[in-house]
Amino acid sequence: MTATIVVLTEESLNEVDITNLRYLIQDNPARFEVLVPADTGRNLLVDVLDNLSLLQFAEAFRDLTGGKPTKDQETKAAEVQLSESLALLASSGLEAGGSVTGEDPVQAVVAAAKATNAQQVVVITTPHAVEDTFRTDWANEAQERLGVPVLHLYSGSGFIGGS
């Protein structure tokens, strides 16, 4: 039987992420349902605090002065990230499908997990100091709403988030 794993990511998957997903399934057949939010619902103040806590001063300054992208720009960026992620999964020999989500990424994960009868959810994000500390990150929110395991990985690393 092929297991379904829902993957929520805020950016394109990379080689390390694929290695982590492959390690997760071992030799068991699995299908990945990749979700990329068009609108992450990020808060400007939280983004600045996250960047400052990670000593990313240039990013914090850009957050403050750069302005917010339009809805159309966010959707196009998410479509590119999804396409890149699906192409990388396919080139790695992993079966995958996916979609761009709307304003509530966690609700999209819950709906996808229920619709596909997913055995697990994997949330792949960059570190978010504020959300991770106060357990308000997507993985913790999804864990509260679902009856399946939710794994939180930091993109491009083997580090497990605080969920």
CATH numbers and ranges of domains, the chain: 3-154 (3.40.50.620)
Q: Which residues pair with 73 in a beta bridge?
A: none
% of the chain surpassing 70 pLDDT:
75
Q: Give me the pLDDT at residue 39, please.
A: 72
Q: Give the mean model confidence (pLDDT) for residues 53-82.
A: 77
Residue 163 reports pLDDT greater than 50? no
Q: Mind listing the pLDDT tens digit for each residue in 81-91?
A: 999 999 999 99
Q: Give me the pLDDT at residue 3, please.
A: 93
Rounded CA-CA distance 158/105 in Å is: 23
Burial 69-106, CB ≥16 within 10 A → b, else e = eeeeebbebbeebbeebbebbeeeebebebebbeeebb
Q: Mind listing the pLDDT tens digit for each residue in 95-151?
A: 999 999 987 899 999 999 999 999 999 999 877 655 655 555 778 888 889 888 999
Higher pLDDT, 68 or 148: 148
Q: Give the mean model confidence (pLDDT) for residues 89-94.
A: 97
Residue 93 reports pLDDT greater than 70? yes
Q: Mind listing the pLDDT tens digit for each residue in 109-124?
A: 999 999 999 999 999 9
